[in-house]
């Protein structure tokens, strides 16, 4: 009897339902699933069924026949397609508890600080439809701060910048709560889109989201190198005017110039949050610096770019992509973190 109860309890989950990636934290074990937030649907017999989720679905993007389409059900940090998002969460939960015989887990899930009541209810309903027995929420900047190991149990402000695929959230947290926050609908997706636009505008070439993401990850940077062109890579693209494909060589300098607009939007959001914050909080932040989390934190030189703009030290958290999931996991694991629940 007690072993069965322990098994059910150990199956509780924390989820970071992200625009670009979704992570699942299993109580007592850590992060067990980290997959792209992509679903492939197959049309047949008058209805659509799930063909693949995660990495398998992402590999299909731009490569599918007409009866298969790939969907990203989360956009700008919030649910864009309820039914597909629910199916994706159901599949991710199933993968997280594979072979463990666990059912109806309790779920702690991160939500944007600016999410409306309707948007929060949508996330709750998705988790319940996916098999959760109870759903608790943590605002993502708070979860990121917990996951990054920031001190939250004392009356001193900490500043965290969480840059995801769809949103950038800047928050000052203290005493288990978000005291001041700013958000903008700009993140990794807008950076990828800027690369796509640049390739068409400057080279008359067409690339997809996946190619733009690879360019960003391999040679992208938030500011151009001080000397020279930096790293380079060859990209095969479809000519916008002809059916043939051709090769173009890109450099870090060119990519940095291509993504300057969304990067500046991120920097402006941080600067505005700092400028409008209470003076007591800005003094605390000046004393201990700023912490950068989320997948966007992995963009080269972004910490330097932000530090130059606000004249404060900026530190990239350890494993920034996982901070929200780890923070939600700590709330799930430890009774003492329950004050952080939204």
**pLDDT at position 335 over 70:** no
Model confidence at 1, in pLDDT bands (50, 70, 90)? very low
Q: How far is CA 315 from the centre of its chain?
A: 18
Better pLDDT: 74 or 337? 74
pLDDT of 245 reads 82
pLDDT digits (tens, 9 = 90+) for 75-122: 887 899 999 999 999 999 989 987 665 568 899 999 988 889 999 999
pLDDT at 284 over 80: yes
User: Which domains does the chain show, CATH number per domain?
Assistant: 2-37+72-142+323-340 (3.30.420.40), 151-186+262-318 (3.30.420.40), 188-260 (3.90.640.10)
Percentage of residues of the chain with pLDDT beyond 70? 93
Q: Is the per-residue pLDDT at 7 higher than 50?
A: no
- Residue range 111-140: average pLDDT? 91
Please report which confidence band the pLDDT of residue 9 belongs to, taking 50, 70 and 90 as the band edges: very low
CB 326 within 8 A of CB 300: no
8 A C-beta contact, residue 43 and residue 123: no
In the chain, pLDDT over 90 holds for what percent of residues?
65
Tens digit of each residue's pLDDT (9 = 90 or more) over 185-223: 999 999 999 999 999 999 988 998 889 999 999 999 999
Residue 325 has pLDDT above 80, yes or no: yes
């Amino acid at each position: 009897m007690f072993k069965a109860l322990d098994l059910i309890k150990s199956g509780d989950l924390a989820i970071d339902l992200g625009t670009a990636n979704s992570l699942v934290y299993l109580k007592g074990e850590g992060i067990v699933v980290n997959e792209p937030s992509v679903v492939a649907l197959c049309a047949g017999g008058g209805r659509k069924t799930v063909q693949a989720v995660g990495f398998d679905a992402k590999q299909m993007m731009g490569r599918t026949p007409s009866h298969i389409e790939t969907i990203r059900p989360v956009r700008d940090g919030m649910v864009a397609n309820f039914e597909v998002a629910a199916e994706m969460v159901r599949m991710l939960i199933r993968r997280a508890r594979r072979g463990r015989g666990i059912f109806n887990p309790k779920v702690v899930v991160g939500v944007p600080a600016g999410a409306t009541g309707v948007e929060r209810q949508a996330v709750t309903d998705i988790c319940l439809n996916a098999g959760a027995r109870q759903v608790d929420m943590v605002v993502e900047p708070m979860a990121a701060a917990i996951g990054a190991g920031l001190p939250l149990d004392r009356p001193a402000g900490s500043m965290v910048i969480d840059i995801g695929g769809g949103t950038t959230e800047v928050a000052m947290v203290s005493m288990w709560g978000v005291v001041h926050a700013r958000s903008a609908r700009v993140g990794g997706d807008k950076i990828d889109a800027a690369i796509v636009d640049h390739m068409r505008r400057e080279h008359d070439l067409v690339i997809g989201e996946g190619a733009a993401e690879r360019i960003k990850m391999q040679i992208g940077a938030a500011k151009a190198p001080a000397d020279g062109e930096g790293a380079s890579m060859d990209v095969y693209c479809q000519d916008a005017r002809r059916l043939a494909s051709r090769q173009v060589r890109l450099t870090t300098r060119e990519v940095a110039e291509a993504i300057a607009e969304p990067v500046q939007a991120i920097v402006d959001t941080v600067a505005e949050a700092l400028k409008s914050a209470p003076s007591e909080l800005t003094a605390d932040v000046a004393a201990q610096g700023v912490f950068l989390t989320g997948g966007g934190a992995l963009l080269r030189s972004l910490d330097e770019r932000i530090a130059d703009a606000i004249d404060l030290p900026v530190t990239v958290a350890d494993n920034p992509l996982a901070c929200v999931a780890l923070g939600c996991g700590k709330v799930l694991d430890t009774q003492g973190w329950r004050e952080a629940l939204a």
